[in-house]
């Protein structure tokens, strides 16, 4: 425990703000600590990248196997943050995966360019409201990833039954809806209700507290059961030392 506090202190001491911008009352910053870069909104971390590895050892990594479910997946990402997940998916799957990102904040898009040093080649970023955009698409995407936040909570519009139904209709017949669900106190209170809504439409599986991050990754599959999800991931996502913890999390999902 003492060593962990020492490492945190060293990281904080080495942090250098390389970008900062105001959007209303919010401050968006890109911070480099030597070993990693992060994007923060009012000091809440929205994105992180390890300078020595593609993997972050946090919840972002749990979205990386999903394109392996399909031959040429088309992905919709709602909520860019700094772009950790989109960057990881492009590095792993390259031109095999097509990614559209919906982000409400122009300033966050600008921050992501500093964060990733403009390395999101081939990713289409659309400045729009994700709940509105998804209504315009039907039977269009293989994967929808929800990672939209206001501070430390998902905006209520994205947890509503209407949005869940729109996500279902937006997906192809064998599509997957994946959610980053941060386990704050208020989110824990609402969790069972949200899972019940999802189960009306999807086969639902959860990966609890990946890397003890306080986040739950929820998967809603229109067609695949747990065994089929795991088989496809095993066939298309090669295990190595860096992603072994991710694959273990999938094997233990409930």
Residue 55 has pLDDT above 90, yes or no: yes
Identify whether the C-beta of residue 127 lies closer than 8 Å to the C-beta of residue 134.
no
Whole-Å CA distances, 186 to 17, 150, 152, 192, 212: 31, 14, 10, 12, 19
Domain boundaries, the chain: 52-251
pLDDT digits (tens, 9 = 90+) for 84-118: 999 999 999 999 999 999 999 999 999 999 899 87
Write the DSSP symbol of residue 160. Answer: S
Tell me how far apart the alpha carbons of residues 177 and 204 are, in angstroms, rounded to a whole number: 9
pTM for the full model?
A: 0.92
Which of 77, 74, 85 lies closest to 104, judged by CA? 77
Mean pLDDT on 208-229: 91
Task: Please state which CATH number belongs to domain 52-251.
Answer: 3.40.50.150
* Three-state SS at 186: helix
């Amino acid at each position: 425990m003492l060593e962990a506090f020492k490492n945190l202190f060293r990281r904080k001491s080495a942090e250098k703000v390389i970008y900062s911008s105001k959007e209303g009352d919010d401050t968006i910053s890109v911070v480099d600590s030597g070993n990693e870069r992060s994007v923060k909104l009012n000091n809440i971390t929205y994105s992180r990248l390890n300078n020595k590895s593609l993997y972050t050892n946090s919840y972002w990594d749990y979205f990386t196997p999903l394109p392996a479910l399909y031959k040429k997946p088309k992905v919709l990402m709602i909520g860019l943050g700094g772009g950790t997940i989109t960057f990881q998916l492009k590095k792993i799957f390259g031109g095999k995966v097509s990614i559209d990102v919906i982000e409400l904040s122009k300033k966050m898009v600008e921050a992501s360019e500093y964060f990733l040093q403009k390395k999101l080649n081939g990713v289409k970023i659309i400045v729009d409201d994700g709940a509105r955009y998804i209504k315009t698409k039907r039977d269009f995407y293989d994967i929808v990833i929800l990672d939209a936040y206001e501070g430390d909570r998902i905006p209520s519009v994205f947890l509503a039954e209407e949005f869940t139904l729109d996500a279902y209709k937006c997906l192809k017949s064998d599509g997957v809806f994946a959610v980053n669900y941060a386990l704050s106190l208020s989110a824990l209170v609402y969790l069972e209700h949200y899972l019940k809504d999802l189960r009306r439409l999807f086969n639902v599986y959860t990966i609890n507290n990946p890397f003890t991050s306080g986040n739950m990754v929820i998967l809603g599959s229109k067609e695949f059961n747990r065994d089929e999800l795991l088989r496809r991931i095993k066939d298309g996502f090669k295990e190595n030392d860096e992603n072994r913890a991710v694959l273990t999390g999938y094997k233990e999902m409930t």
